[in-house]
Structure 1
């Protein structure tokens, strides 16, 4: 059994340092008391590896953009490295969400989609594809997210995914209202998105009627 010469205590197992003063233990190690957390060590290694790669990309892009003035494409008139940094920070935020305990699939999906859509909107504005993003990319991604949340709510037994399914109705209505207020014709993709949100809401009532009512009462405190 090992011992600490400073704390005058005996320490079992194969620890190398004293659990109190962190001094190096003397004596011979015994059999390990607890199993090694190989999965956590592996996850930690890959997280550190990807974080190192991310910082290399950030430093390289800043150097090429600000110090060498290298444009992303011939007509590029903005600092493209800032967009790359924005995307990488969003990526790191998503990675942290995935490792955080208590995050169900619907919540991770919804947060990730919202974050990616914000990043895509900013990127499309500077690159010059904002109209394509608003009229085609965004509604299709929203519809795919709605369908995914509907599937999660059908498979989830705890009811935690139901709130994200109910927000589908609101997400489908808001763009239509926005186009109506701006007095512009609502694009076909957003009209389909609105119909899909209503269809999924009806499906939720049919398959999980009581859970839908309970979730509405809980959220609205009625």
Structure 2
């Protein structure tokens, strides 16, 4: 049976390209059969994993609200920005579930847009630093975890997510500078973000360094 190199699904019959993504097919063609790929329904373990991710999302949102109430910042409900960011990531996942190879790009794009909007909102409303203390470090941390989880459960190829995870991790390293130069007054979210960035970069460089470099060359036309 033919297998799509990009979708990683089995295709019956003898088509020239994958009916879903028009990607190249490898394997032995069958003389007869349905030309559409045989997509297996989500397994029980996959559903359980999604349940754990949903539980983690709710936990992060609840903890953010609790911290926001316990440590108020001039009446700013910064926890709502975290909830909105997490909801945006989940909405994107549900909308483009059939095009799962775009999830890393969507996560990266939304993370940049939401972080910029949050920072500007904070800056033009007195700059109480709630954006740097809480919202941006938490969103970056959740994005790194989300990318790793989606890559695992959807069995993404390294080149489909490594560059976006690398960019997020490199930017997250600067959270340590916020702590060193006393820019933030609550250091724990920034330290967690920095720790996750080091772990992510170490994984990419030590285990997927060649794929990361090849993808960087391809996208930068080096």
TM-score range, shorter chain: 0.3 to 0.5
Considering Cα pairs closer than 8 Å and 6+ residues apart, tell me whether 1 or 2 has the greater RCO.
2
Q: Work out which of the two has the higher radius of gyration on C-alpha atoms and give 1 or 2.
A: 1
